[in-house]
């Protein structure tokens, strides 16, 4: 068989990559080493920390890219490319777009009110929360 894209794993990031590739017209294969989907996302509870997302804003919870970036700068050490300033900027800018994109394709989210940031007391932290989850 021939595929344009092969995605290894079935966690949130992997499945988002697979859906995006398929939506772009590619033939996609997802391979998973276990007998269940979800990867580390399922093991950690299934939530996605998406700052300034449309669901929290619709619920009246205040957030901005600047607040999210301030929080990230406080709680994430810069230890290399995965935590660089550029990577943080890209996440803050694109994570809310990803949530809307998947929703436009039919994915249903729920806002997790009360699931606060891990360190809401830090500058930019949000005690009400920035997490969303996929509906069953």
User: For residue range 61-94, what is the model confidence (pLDDT) as tens digits?
Assistant: 999 999 999 999 999 998 999 999 999 999 999 9
Q: What's the chain's average pLDDT? A: 95
Q: Where are the domains of the chain?
A: 1-45, 46-136
Q: Is the pLDDT of residue 40 over 90?
A: no
Report pLDDT for 98. 97
Does pLDDT of 59 surpass 90? yes
- Under 8 Å CB-to-CB from 52, ≥6 apart: which residues? 63, 64, 65, 67, 68, 92, 96, 130
**pLDDT over 90 at 38, yes or no:** no
């Amino acid at each position: 068989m021939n595929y344009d894209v092969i995605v290894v794993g079935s966690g949130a990031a992997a499945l988002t990559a697979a859906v995006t590739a398929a939506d772009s017209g590619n033939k996609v294969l997802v391979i998973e080493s276990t007998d269940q989907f979800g990867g580390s996302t399922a093991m950690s509870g299934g939530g996605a920390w998406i700052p300034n997302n449309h669901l929290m804003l619709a619920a009246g919870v205040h957030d901005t890219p600047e607040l999210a970036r301030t929080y990230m700068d406080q709680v994430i050490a810069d230890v290399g490319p995965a935590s660089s300033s550029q990577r943080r900027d890209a996440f803050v800018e694109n994570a809310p777009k990803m949530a809307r994109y998947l929703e436009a394709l039919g994915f249903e989210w729920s806002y997790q009110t009360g699931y606060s940031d891990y360190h809401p007391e830090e500058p930019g932290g949000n005690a009400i929360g920035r997490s969303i989850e996929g509906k069953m």
